[in-house]
A and B are shown apart, each in its own frame.
Chain A
Amino acid sequence: SQKIEQNSEALNIQEGKTATLTCNYTNYSPAYLQWYRQDPGRGPVFLLLIRENEKEKRKERLKVTFDTTLKQSLFHITASQPADSATYLCALHSGNTPLVFGKGTRLSVIA
């Protein structure tokens, strides 16, 4: 069955540093990979979508890579700020199939 692993349940990082979160998957060949941010007691917020034929995508301080050979996506937040503290979820799908979510990584940016 499909398996998505976000390797770190929690990640602590110093303000100003780059946070790197990992998403690995098995038994799946997704055409799309998405990253969401979720704050406690709130619904997820869409951040970025990357397609299987795209190696990298950027949006402001965010950068996502998608390596279909390694079956891995890396999510980077540069110049991290305490306001970036949240849980970050990766999700996979192919076309109109439903999103399959990982468990998330809880990021804490320490001032």
Chain B
Amino acid sequence: GAVVSQHPSRVICKSGTSVKIECRSLDFQATTMFWYRQFPKKSLMLMATSNEGSKATYEQGVEKDKFLINHASLTLSTLTVTSAHPEDSSFYICSARRGRSSYEQYFGPGTRLTVT
């Protein structure tokens, strides 16, 4: 299979604090990982593309200093929401591709972030 895990599944934090979300590919090496955000009844919005060992590529309108992405190894990418505000509350989902010639994406179960 191709299993992607995310941790934590749910997190509640206070305004102004930072939250780190981990995304791991458990049984394959992911050269590319993606971070999405999803609002209720809306589609997935791509935030950034993360390649192992290089800087993430952010989509237009996504603040790279606010959403820090690190892809330190072929099986781990992290998203840190810095100085979180209530409007950052959302469902964050990561996905991974097995290799550069493989186009299917395998998604994590998502992380529900609530900022109070």
Contact = CB atoms under 8 A, between A and B. Distances in A.
Interface string B71-107: 0000000000000000000010101000010011111
A60 to B, nearest CB: 16
B42 A46 contact: no
A103 interface: yes
Interface residues of B, number: 24
A34 B109 contact: no
Contacts of B54: none
Interface residues of A, number: 21
Contacts of A44: 44, 93, 95, 107
A43 B59 CA distance: 20
Interface-centre pick from A32, A44, A45, A49 (highest chain B CB count, 10 A): A44
B71 to A, nearest CB: 15
A46 B34 contact: no
A43 B109 contact: yes
Interface-centre pick from A89, A98, A101 (highest chain B CB count, 10 A): A98
B103 to A, nearest CB: 6
Contacts of A96: 32, 100, 103
Contact of A43 (B42, B46, B95): B95
A14 B4 CA distance: 33
A45 B59 CA distance: 23
A93 B103 contact: yes
B108 A43 contact: yes
B104 A101 contact: no
A98 B34 contact: yes
Given A41-B112, A96-B100, A98-B34, A46 B46 contact: no
10 contacts: A41-B91, A43-B4, A43-B95, A43-B107, A45-B107, A46-B104, A46-B105, A46-B106, A95-B103, A96-B103
